[in-house]
């Protein structure tokens, strides 16, 4: 049982050289910006003059962040 819990909560964060809480913070921040990009894209779909490049800029920034980990 201990091995299962370790695998669930520690193996992946360790594989990217992070603690559980460091990884939680990174993933939560990433999720926040994905939701912000989705919101901007949805608004842009309805009113094309708004958020013309915002979602794309957020996605590019997130891509850079995740590939440079």
Q: pLDDT tens-digit profile of 47-61?
A: 999 999 999 999 999
Are the C-beta atoms of 37 and 59 separated by less than 8 Å? yes
- How far apart CA 49 and CA 62 sit, in angstroms, is 23
Q: What is the pLDDT of residues 14-50, one digit of tens each?
A: 999 999 999 999 999 999 999 999 999 999 999 999 9
What predicted TM-score, i.e. pTM, was given to this entire model? 0.85
Which runs of consecutive H residues, i.e. helices, occur in the chain? 2-6, 12-15, 20-46, 54-67
- How far apart CA 14 and CA 30 sit, in angstroms, is 18
């Amino acid at each position: 049982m201990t091995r299962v819990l370790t695998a669930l909560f520690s193996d992946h964060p360790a594989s990217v050289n992070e603690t559980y809480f460091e990884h939680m913070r990174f993933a939560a921040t990433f999720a926040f910006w994905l939701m912000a990009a989705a919101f901007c894209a949805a608004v842009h779909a309805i009113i094309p003059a708004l958020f013309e490049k915002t979602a794309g800029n957020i996605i590019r920034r997130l891509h850079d962040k995740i590939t440079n980990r």
